[in-house]
């Protein structure tokens, strides 16, 4: 992915200061010292492409490695499930149940992703202590959310009964979802801690934890699902338990890294652990719309697969589930680049250098379009060999080859949507994208998909996939337009013009501002 040769020659020192120092090693800051305001800094100084690429790649390589590790975990689970005796039913169940779990987890996931927003803007404003304080608030919020999630556990079987899947699929869906719910709070804490490291521009601690947990998950899934090495053969339940254990392992890793790793002293992580109502308010102010967006978006995709595609039976469910695995290989690395854009935008805003936010967002978009466009080409050219990796069923393979073409069509637009959604989140603009994006998902994809399933059933799952493709195209254009309208420039998420209050329990010094009631970051 190295593309720093787009411009010849080395950037001068002033450009390196503007774009930040790229760090591809663990524990190193990507940008250790940046000016607070743009001042007389030229908007596009000589060598800016090279300098910005160094910054984005310094952040993105670790983020992409993390998302690839997470994708490998998902793909490994799916492959091991394909080795079970009832493979088609098990694959359909794991894919559907995974989407349902993430629909439930979506609020915590979306809210805790915004830890990057408040952390990166605090970093840009020179408030290092605030960075770890926000991470701790995300941890405590997640733990409370996990306790609340236990209330859903008894109702899972009744929920799947509403979808009227085959009896064997329903049973496995219920078991998988109930086990995964046990890790709801820990999963949220994992996201908050991971995005803390992304926000402080030290993403490699996150990457190492993701790789280690992926290896652990693969070993445990193989042993617990198939009954290897003396473990009982638990099937789909073993897959779920392995994921839960790996999640707990990674969360503990990240917590230790934050409190005792190389950044602990710089960000004072062991002294900012207390509940801070003001920082909880600021994190949730930007995080709750993002959480709602994740719930509505993920639940829309879950409804698309579990409900609409489920109308056509196991073959269509299995084919769609397999295509999802390949779209993950496409969009998850793009999400890694998007996260780099998000934290670069957040830091630029904290430094009051909005021109850097625009510039790096545009560059990140071009990188994602190049990668995802290439993946779309692979889907078209190698559709059948790709499907044959995960299935030996002739009907599943034939249908999957067709569905991969739909996925190929929307790859470029998905790249645009991913990048600009992350840029807007880095700026704290989460409400408008939530309302508009959710409306488009449920009206275009779910509404249109239902119409096709109801009135054009002879098309099978191809009909709903037409509207899924149309939705991705639409949301990509919409998020690009929102960014260009520049409403995000007026937001102040962390209270940049107010004194920092790291801990509401800290004793105020003479002349310090109290917690009070700071202005809304709207």
The pTM of the whole model exceeds 0.75? yes
User: What distance in Å separates the CA atoms of residue 323 and residue 511, rounded to the nearest whole number?
Assistant: 60
User: What distance in Å separates the CA atoms of residue 56 and residue 367, rounded to the nearest whole number?
Assistant: 10
pLDDT at position 463 over 90 = yes
Q: Which residue has the tokens 């829309």?
A: 300
- Tell me what the mean pLDDT of segment 147-159 comes to: 87
DSSP string, 358-426: HHHHHHHHHHHHHHHHHHHHHHHHTHHHHHHHH---HHHHHHHHHHHHHHHHTHHHHHHHHHHHHHHHH
- What share of the chain has pLDDT > 90, as a percent? 63
pLDDT at position 508 over 70 = no
Tokens of 22: 């790229």
DSSP string, 180-207: HHTTHHHHHHHHHHHHHHHHTT-THHHH
User: What distance in Å separates the CA atoms of residue 121 and residue 124, rounded to the nearest whole number?
Assistant: 5
Which of 71-85, 269-283, 412-426, 469-483 comes out lowest in average pLDDT? 71-85
User: What distance in Å separates the CA atoms of residue 154 and residue 194, rounded to the nearest whole number?
Assistant: 30
Tokens of 418: 């991913």
Please write the tens of the pLDDT for every residue from 356-369.
999 999 999 999 99
Tokens of 430: 């989460």
pLDDT at position 437 over 50 = yes
Tokens of 34: 């940046």
User: What distance in Å separates the CA atoms of residue 394 and residue 402, rounded to the nearest whole number?
Assistant: 13
pLDDT at 160: 86
pLDDT at 429: 96
Please write the tens of the pLDDT for every residue from 221-280.
999 999 999 999 999 999 999 999 999 999 999 999 999 999 999 999 999 999 999 999
User: What distance in Å separates the CA atoms of residue 520 and residue 285, rounded to the nearest whole number?
Assistant: 9
pLDDT at 500: 59
Q: How many CA atoms lie within 13 A of 64 on its CB side?
A: 20
User: What distance in Å separates the CA atoms of residue 521 and residue 196, rounded to the nearest whole number?
Assistant: 20
Where residue 102 falls among pLDDT bands split at 50, 70, 90? confident
pLDDT at 33: 35
Mean pLDDT score across all residues of the chain: 85
pLDDT at position 5 over 50 = no
pLDDT at position 132 over 70 = yes
pLDDT at position 14 over 50 = no
**Three-state SS at 512:** coil
Select the more confidently predicted residue: 214 or 67: 214
What DSSP state is assigned to residue 9? S
Tokens of 198: 């992304």
From first CA to last CA, the distance across the chain in angstroms is: 37
């Amino acid at each position: 992915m190295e593309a720093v040769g787009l411009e010849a020659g080395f950037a001068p020192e002033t450009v390196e200061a503007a774009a930040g120092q790229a760090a591809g090693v663990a524990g190193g800051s990507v940008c250790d010292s940046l000016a607070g305001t743009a001042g007389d800094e030229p908007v596009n100084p000589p060598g800016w492409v090279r300098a910005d690429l160094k910054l984005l790649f310094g952040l993105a390589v670790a983020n992409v490695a993390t998302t690839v590790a997470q994708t490998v975990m998902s793909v490994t689970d799916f492959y091991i499930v394909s080795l079970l005796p009832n493979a088609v039913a098990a694959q359909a169940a794991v894919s559907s149940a995974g989407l349902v779990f993430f629909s439930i987890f979506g609020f915590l996931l979306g809210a805790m992703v915004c830890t990057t927003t408040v952390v990166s803007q605090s970093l840009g404003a020179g408030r290092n202590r605030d960075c770890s304080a926000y991470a701790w608030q995300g941890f405590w919020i997640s733990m409370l959310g996990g306790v609340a999630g236990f209330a859903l556990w008894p109702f899972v079987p009744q929920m799947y009964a509403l979808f009227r899947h085959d009896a064997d699929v329903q049973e496995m869906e219920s078991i998988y979802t109930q086990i995964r719910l046990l890790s709801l709070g820990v999963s949220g804490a994992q996201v908050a801690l991971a995005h803390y490291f992304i926000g402080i521009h030290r993403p490699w601690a996150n990457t190492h934890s993701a790789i280690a947990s992926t290896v652990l998950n693969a070993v445990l899934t193989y042993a617990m699902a198939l009954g290897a090495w003396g473990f009982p053969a638990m099937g789909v339940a073993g897959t779920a338990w392995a994921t839960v254990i790996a999640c707990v392992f990674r969360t503990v890793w990240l917590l230790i890294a934050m409190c005792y790793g190389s950044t602990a002293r710089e960000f004072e992580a062991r002294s900012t652990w207390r509940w801070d109502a003001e920082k909880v308010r600021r994190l949730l102010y930007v995080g709750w719309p993002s959480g709602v967006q994740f719930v509505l978006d993920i639940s829309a995709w879950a409804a698309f697969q579990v409900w609409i595609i489920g109308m056509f039976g196991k073959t269509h469910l299995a084919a769609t589930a397999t295509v999802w695995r390949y779209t993950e290989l496409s969009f998850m690395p793009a999400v890694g680049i998007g996260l780099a854009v998000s934290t670069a935008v957040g830091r630029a805003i904290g430094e009051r250098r909005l021109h850097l936010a625009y510039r790096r967002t545009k560059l990140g978009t071009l990188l994602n379009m190049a990668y995802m466009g290439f993946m779309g080409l692979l889907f078209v050219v190698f559709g059948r060999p790709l499907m044959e990796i995960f299935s030996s069923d002739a009907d599943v393979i034939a249908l999957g080859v067709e569905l991969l073409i739909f996925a190929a069509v929307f790859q470029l637009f998905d790249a645009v949507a991913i990048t600009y959604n992350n840029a807007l989140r880095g700026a704290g603009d989460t409400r408008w994208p939530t309302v508009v994006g959710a409306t488009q998902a449920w009206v275009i994809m779910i509404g249109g998909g239902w119409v096709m399933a109801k009135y054009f059933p002879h098309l099978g799952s191809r009909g709903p996939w037409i509207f899924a493709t149309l939705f991705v195209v639409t949301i990509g254009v919409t998020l690009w337009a929102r960014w260009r309208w520049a409403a995000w420039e007026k937001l102040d998420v962390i209270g940049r013009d107010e004194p920092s209050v790291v801990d509401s329990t800290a004793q105020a010094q003479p002349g310090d501002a109290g917690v009070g009631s700071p202005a809304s970051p709207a």
